[in-house]
Amino acid sequence: MANPAASPSIEWKSLGLAIRERRVAHELTLVELAAEVELSQPFLSQIENGRARPSMTSLYRIAHALNTTPQAFFGGPIDGASAPTLVRAEDAPAVDFDAQAGPSAHLLLAGNAPFHVLEYAGLPSEFLEYWEHDGFEAVYVVEGSIEIDIDGTVQALNAGDFLSYPSRLPHRLRSTGDTAARALLIETKVELLQDRRPGSHMPKPVRRRISRKV
């Protein structure tokens, strides 16, 4: 189990540089990207320079606008063909957002790896907005209990439960119960996929009646 107190924090300056490099590669100006993700141009500039920390929602919007996921901005290069990669519990980088921004995560495998693995250690108790993007995801509950809302259908998961789904379906998750939940999220790397249909990380209007499955 990763210890949040002992884990190194993410270098936000490195995150900002990765965002800037990808924005430039997509031939977008700061003004254009800021307008698309509903942030001010000065604030986006501060994020790119490592002087401001984006909320989880803002980071997902930036990643979506640049045809990727937040995990691709973290972790640096991985050369899986040359040697095994070991991440000790105390060495897993932590991404700590403020109390209103959502989960904290430990990055077990990110960067340019063909898939990404995160350990969510601070899931919100309430659903945030839906996310959807190219690829495929799977969630494994390590401890506690969570709920996953996938396109309006809520699945209750307990420790040891596993759920996979196409990440094109609108999805979001939250912690339930008295015990702090920990869950592993595994996702395919967006850049490796052929599916390039437009997706959205914008808030979804209420358009369906939520059903629950236990």
Structure confidence at residue 79 (pLDDT): 55
The list of the chain residues with pLDDT below 50 reads 1-9, 99-102, 194-209
Q: Which long-range contacts (CB under 8 A, 24 or more apart) does 50-53 make?
A: 50/11, 50/12, 50/13, 50/14, 50/15, 50/16, 50/17, 53/12, 53/97, 53/98
Q: What tokens does 200 get?
A: 């959205």
Structure confidence at residue 103 (pLDDT): 52
Structure confidence at residue 98 (pLDDT): 52
Nearest of 13, 11, 51, 54 to residue 34 by alpha carbon: 54
Q: Each residue of 161-174: pLDDT tens digit?
A: 999 999 889 999 99
Nearest of 154, 150, 152 to residue 166 by alpha carbon: 150
CB atoms within 10 A of CB 195: 12
Structure confidence at residue 91 (pLDDT): 79
Structure confidence at residue 77 (pLDDT): 59
- Chain-centre distance for alpha carbon 34: 19
Please report the domains of the chain, with CATH numbers, ordered by start residue: 1-214 (2.60.120.10)
Cβ atoms of 28 and 20 within 8 Å: the answer is: no
Alpha-carbon span 176 to 91, nearest angstrom: 28
Q: Cα–Cα distances in Å, from 3 out to 109, 120, 149?
A: 17, 12, 28
